[in-house]
Chain A
Amino acid sequence: MLLAKTLTSSTFKLALIAIGTFGVIVSAIFAYVYLSTSTFVRSRSDRAIMAEYMNLRDVYERSGREGLIGLIRQRTSDRAFTGHVYVLSDPSSAVLAANLGEWPPTAMAPSGWTEFRVSPVAPEGGGSPLVRGMIVTFPSGDRLLVGQDISDLDLFTGQIKTAVISGVSLIFVLAGVASVLVTRRTVGRIEQINATSRAIMASGLDKRIPLRGTHDEWDRVAENLNLMLERIETLMGEVKQVSDNLAHDLRTPLTRMRGRLEKAYHSQRFDEGAQALIGDTIADLDAVLRIFTSITRIAQIETRVRTEAFRTVNLVEIAREVVELYDAAAEEKGSCLTMIGEGEVPATGDRDLIFDAIANLVDNAIKHGRAGGDVIVASETVNGAPVISITDDGPGIPTNQRDQVFKRFYRLEQSRYTPGNGLGLSLVAAVARLHGARIEMSDNSPGLQFKLWFPAPGT
């Protein structure tokens, strides 16, 4: 998991690009070193061969074939010239003087540089030595080859080559390993931050990103994010405090007011007309209070975090209770309210709030659906996720207004005159958010299907 994230991370891609660029440059430098070293070594041996060749050519030009044969014989018996190769042949390629058995068959050029391997002098002498030599064909047709055993040079440049290639490979491997390790560390820290963010979204602001105590840049990022979280938590707490105080400060005078009105209502001191006025005032006051209660309730749900009050609840059971409660209301409207779903559909949550959300959706479906239509409540577990759906066959909600309906007090034009305060779906949205549930609205053509996807229990 972490390795997969490491390999796909942008840091790792950057590291790969860096390794690539760096590798090309290093390879070029090493190649240059190799080439210049081998050229230098070779040109030194070439100069030596050239000098010896000039000597022999001069001897041939001055003293003729016999003089050169003499010199070659002298050279081949001289220990100081070990490793030198001399071959002199006549125009028919018959060897006149040489320390090789025959004219090397691969060196057929009339003149110029040549390189060839000779069969080892002694069978146990190891590999066949590499010889580099200069060939000249004299005007008489005689050919001379002057060369030197360059096996040692060859070995030397070969070693340099091996060193360079293994060095470059080692650098690549080390850089690769290093970048995986570094990226892994980075990805690990980022994953920690991600995990904390997810935990915060799932359960509340009390989580913090763990510090490693290394005082590095990651710790500083974590510290700053933690400070930010702290600040947000404080602010949220203040908002909650304000709304609690508001609730308290408003409710106290409202309680007094309602108390006075009620006292007046029951005192029997007024005529029937005044009594009715007071009664209506109490009813209106209660209506105001209900809206106020709904708003504070939504606000409280929104600022609430997942609490210990969450239990494993059975969606089928809750839905069944809602359906039973609303059955009479549906009957009154001539609609048919049906429940589909059996057994257990377990979800994690607050039973009262889920009941309230489903009740609001069913209430909407009955109120805004077709009079005499069908409202179907269904609950099942789909791929481990508990889901509840409420379907009606009414006019539905236009696609472009589906996000709007969750706003407080928002009402569709078509339902402007149906009773309600436009807070029901805000509450549903707040409850869904608290439970980490996803809301899905789709066309039932005709009608609307409303689905609440709860997270799989235990996640």
Chain B
Amino acid sequence: MTGGHRRILVVEDDPETAGQLVEQLSTSGYQVDLATCGNDALSRGAASEYAVITIDRMLPDIDGIAVMRQLRDDGIAAPFLIISALGEVDDRVRGLRAGGDDYLVKPFSFIELLARLEALGRRSDTVAKETILRVGDLAIDLISRTASRRGKDIDLLPKEFQLLEYLVRNEGRVVSRAMLLQHVWDLHFDPSTNIIDVYVGRVRRKVDDQQAYPLIHTIRGIGYSLRAPG
């Protein structure tokens, strides 16, 4: 059995979208297999071990969620990223997150897809052992729910701490606005205002103002990333 942390199965029936996905994921360093229908997905999914399986909700032969169930029943443990054109009101898709899988609504930005894949693929191999996480001179204490830079406490509200924790846990990776809404507020839709930006702006002021270097960086058109220089 061939396997690996960078191997992904893409299930997508639209040839052009499939082509774009394969090309961009390959460029990003993933090893990509493509299945163009549900049956194809079932045989490929069972044959190899994948870090993540992305699957279109509407396939020509079998419903994407049915494929996912079938593979789960066959003992496939890989997390699924369902790509749905139906939107988040579709209850069955919304129920996915409870099972540790994720979904994305079409059309999606590639960086958003990449961010999700990173988050899903990483999940299996990170076990939180430390109770204090550090990035540069920032330290956050997961037990007391406090944060400090260079030993100086940062005064954060509970949700602000949660947001910072999520950014720290994804250190160096791009985190989209939708991901923040999902993980910090458990919201599965995108409020069309710039509310998240304003909110992150305030957290950023608390964390980065009058410090040696900024930690929270804006990634234009997609979201944020927390990283220390160097």
A340 at the interface (CB under 8 A from B): no
Q: From residue 208 to 228 of chain B, which have CB atoms closer than 8 A to chain A? A: 220-221
Chain A residues lying within 8 Å of B186, measured Cβ to Cβ, are 351
Choice from A266, A297, A308, A363 contacting B193 with Cβ under 8 Å: A363
A324 at the interface (CB under 8 A from B): yes
- Find out whether the CB atom of B185 lies under 8 angstroms from the CB atom of A325: yes
- Nearest CB in chain A: distance from B2 CB, A: 28
Interface hit among A253-261, A392-400, A402-410: A253-261
Q: Considering only CB atoms, which chain A residue lies closest to B16 in the complex? A: A256
- Find out whether the CB atom of A290 lies under 8 angstroms from the CB atom of B192: yes
- Nearest CB in chain B: distance from A362 CB, A: 10
- Find out whether the CB atom of A329 lies under 8 angstroms from the CB atom of B14: no
- Nearest CB in chain A: distance from B218 CB, A: 14
Whole-angstrom CA separation of A282 from B108 in the bound complex: 11
Q: From residue 321 to 363 of chain A, which have CB atoms closer than 8 A to chain B? A: 321, 324-326, 328-329, 331-332, 351-352, 355-356, 359-360, 363
Choice from B20, B94, B202, B221 contacting A259 with Cβ under 8 Å: B20
Tell me the count of chain B residues lying within 8 A, CB to CB, of chain A: 42
- Find out whether the CB atom of B86 lies under 8 angstroms from the CB atom of A247: yes
Q: Mark A68-96, 1 if CB is under 8 A from B, else 0.
A: 00000000000000000000000000000
Chain A residues lying within 8 Å of B188, measured Cβ to Cβ, are 352
- Find out whether the CB atom of A293 lies under 8 angstroms from the CB atom of B14: no
Chain A residues lying within 8 Å of B110, measured Cβ to Cβ, are 259, 262-263, 266
Chain B residues lying within 8 Å of A252, measured Cβ to Cβ, are 14, 17, 85, 106
Choice from A283, A290, A304, A331 contacting B190 with Cβ under 8 Å: A290
Choice from A251, A307, A324 contacting B107 with Cβ under 8 Å: A251
- Nearest CB in chain A: distance from B104 CB, A: 10
- Nearest CB in chain A: distance from B55 CB, A: 15
- Find out whether the CB atom of B199 lies under 8 angstroms from the CB atom of A258: no
Chain A residues lying within 8 Å of B100, measured Cβ to Cβ, are none
> A304 with B195: in contact, given A259-B20, A279-B221 (CB under 8 Å)?
no
- Nearest CB in chain A: distance from B32 CB, A: 15
- Find out whether the CB atom of A296 lies under 8 angstroms from the CB atom of B185: no
B157 at the interface (CB under 8 A from A): yes
Chain A residues lying within 8 Å of B24, measured Cβ to Cβ, are 259, 262-263
- Find out whether the CB atom of A248 lies under 8 angstroms from the CB atom of B187: no
A385 at the interface (CB under 8 A from B): no
- Nearest CB in chain A: distance from B14 CB, A: 5
B172 at the interface (CB under 8 A from A): no
> A325 with B195: in contact, given A251-B106, A356-B189 (CB under 8 Å)?
yes
- Nearest CB in chain B: distance from A431 CB, A: 11
B70 at the interface (CB under 8 A from A): no
B191 at the interface (CB under 8 A from A): yes
Chain A residues lying within 8 Å of B108, measured Cβ to Cβ, are 255, 258
Whole-angstrom CA separation of A363 from B159 in the bound complex: 19
Choice from A248, A301, A329, A355 contacting B86 with Cβ under 8 Å: A248
B4 at the interface (CB under 8 A from A): no
- Nearest CB in chain B: distance from A325 CB, A: 6
- Find out whether the CB atom of B191 lies under 8 angstroms from the CB atom of A260: no
> A296 with B192: in contact, given A248-B58, A324-B159, A325-B185 (CB under 8 Å)?
no
B89 at the interface (CB under 8 A from A): yes
A300 at the interface (CB under 8 A from B): yes
- Nearest CB in chain A: distance from B27 CB, A: 9
- Nearest CB in chain A: distance from B200 CB, A: 9
- Find out whether the CB atom of A297 lies under 8 angstroms from the CB atom of B17: no
- Find out whether the CB atom of A359 lies under 8 angstroms from the CB atom of B191: yes
B73 at the interface (CB under 8 A from A): no
Name the residue among B85, B86, B88, B158 with the largest chain A CB count within 10 angstroms.
B85
B201 at the interface (CB under 8 A from A): yes
Q: Considering only CB atoms, which chain B residue lies closest to A252 in the complex? A: B14
Q: From residue 50 to 103 of chain B, which have CB atoms closer than 8 A to chain A? A: 58, 85-91, 94
B198 at the interface (CB under 8 A from A): yes
Choice from B87, B91, B195 contacting A297 with Cβ under 8 Å: B87
B105 at the interface (CB under 8 A from A): yes
- Nearest CB in chain B: distance from A324 CB, A: 5
Whole-angstrom CA separation of A352 from B91 in the bound complex: 11
B39 at the interface (CB under 8 A from A): no
- Nearest CB in chain B: distance from A36 CB, A: 81
Q: From residue 287 to 330 of chain A, which have CB atoms closer than 8 A to chain B? A: 289-290, 293-294, 296-297, 300-301, 304, 307-309, 321, 324-326, 328-329
- Find out whether the CB atom of A300 lies under 8 angstroms from the CB atom of B87: yes
Q: Mark B172-210, 1 if CB is under 8 A from A, else 0.
A: 000000000000011111111101001101100000000
A421 at the interface (CB under 8 A from B): yes
Choice from B20, B23, B199 contacting A328 with Cβ under 8 Å: B199
Whole-angstrom CA separation of A289 from B195 in the bound complex: 18
- Find out whether the CB atom of A328 lies under 8 angstroms from the CB atom of B189: no
Instruction: List 14 other contacts, CB 8 Å, given A255-B107, A282-B221.
Output: A247-B86, A248-B58, A248-B85, A248-B86, A256-B16, A259-B107, A262-B110, A263-B20, A296-B87, A325-B199, A328-B198, A329-B198, A331-B202, A356-B189
CB<8 Å pairs between A and B, sample of 27? A251-B107, A254-B106, A254-B107, A255-B14, A255-B108, A256-B17, A259-B107, A263-B20, A283-B221, A286-B109, A290-B192, A296-B87, A297-B87, A300-B87, A321-B185, A324-B159, A325-B159, A325-B199, A328-B195, A328-B199, A329-B199, A352-B88, A352-B188, A355-B187, A356-B187, A359-B195, A421-B192
Residues of A near any B CB (own CB < 8 A): 244, 247-248, 251-252, 254-260, 262-263, 266, 279, 282-283, 286, 289-290, 293-294, 296-297, 300-301, 304, 307-309, 321, 324-326, 328-329, 331-332, 351-352, 355-356, 359-360, 363, 419-421
